[in-house]
Amino acid sequence: MAILEVKGLVKNYNGVRALKGISFDLEEGEILGVIGPNGAGKTTLVNLISGIDKPTSGEIFFRGERVTGTPPYRMAQKGVARTFQHIQIFPEMTVLENVKAGLHTKGRSGFLACLLHLPGVTKEEDRTTHRALEVMELVGIRDKREWPAAALPYGDRKKVVIARALVSQPQVLMLDEPAGGLNEQETEEMGELIQKLKEMGITIMLIEHDMDLIMGICHRILVLHHGERIALGPPHRIQEDPQVVQAYLGEGF
């Protein structure tokens, strides 16, 4: 069953057509890879689904409900999480605080309760810390809990933002180049982590340039080129698609 349906999505930026009518379904439980050369519209697509940008036309449905143009915080509350290509870590907060911030929607304590620090606040805070540490264990950053995020090596920062997006148990997780800037071993670890997330029941949309990673773990791959969908299918079919080979992999192939 499709958890997310995208229908004829168009986005114009000052007359430049970044997306020219993209349609696809995200099936529940799958890892969908999204590839395409730079400027193909991959990040634009994620921005439209997460609500950061509004589409010029087209519709988005989440579990059958129309969510086109819904603001990002509402999408997050519904269970659609994302990470950013440029990480967007909270640099001056500790690793633990970063991950705990991801649990915002799970908290109930209001402004007044927090000002007065009512007894319920302490309990909720303990639960939040406990849950954050669980996820930090999973991604392998638990031992760095008190580090300021800015002091972390690049690979660890990527793990922090994934933990931050993951901690609220989203239904859909959109990862924007999680392996970008990572070395071979780190990329492999990232692939293992993404597969673990899939096994936890999270549907994943993975934007990535690393072909080994994409081909290795994705069930299906969506190929974008100049804002258009040129192919959608399982990895072996994408590799043989003449249009993809020409447009994406370049003339050398």
Residue ranges binding other proteins (CB under 8 A)? 50, 52, 71-73, 75-77, 81-82, 84, 88-93, 97, 100-105, 107, 109, 111, 114-117, 121-122, 124-126, 128-129, 161, 164-165, 168
Phi, psi of 106 (to 5 degrees): -85, -15
Nearer Cβ to other proteins, position 52 or 249? 52
Q: Provide the minimum distance between the beta carbon of 153 and other proteins in the complex, in angstroms, as a whole number.
A: 19
Cβ contacts of 67 within 8 Å, gap of 6 or more = 51, 60, 61, 74, 75, 78, 80
Q: How far is the CB of 170 from other proteins (least distance, A)?
A: 10
Q: Using the minimum distance from each CB to other proteins, give the nearer residue, 13 or 73.
A: 73
Which residue, 103 or 193, is less far from other proteins as judged by CB?
Answer: 103
Residue with tokens 């087209």: 58
C-alpha distances (whole Å) from 107 to each of 20, 136, 144, 227 are 39, 18, 24, 39
Q: Could you give the CA distance from residue 50 to residue 62 in angstroms, rounded to a whole number?
A: 11
Query: What is the identity of the amino acid at 9?
Result: L
Q: How far is the CB of 228 from other proteins (least distance, A)?
A: 26
Q: What is the DSSP letter of 248?
A: T
User: In angstroms, what is the minimal distance from the CB of 130 to other proteins?
Assistant: 12
DSSP code string of 106-142: G----HHHHHHT-HHHHHHHHHHHHHHHHHHHHHT-G
For residues 50 and 203, which CB has a smaller minimum distance to other proteins in the complex?
50
Closer by beta carbon to other proteins, 165 or else 238: 165
Alpha-carbon distance of 215 to 188, in angstroms, equals: 12
At its nearest, how many Å lie between other proteins and the CB of residue 18? 18
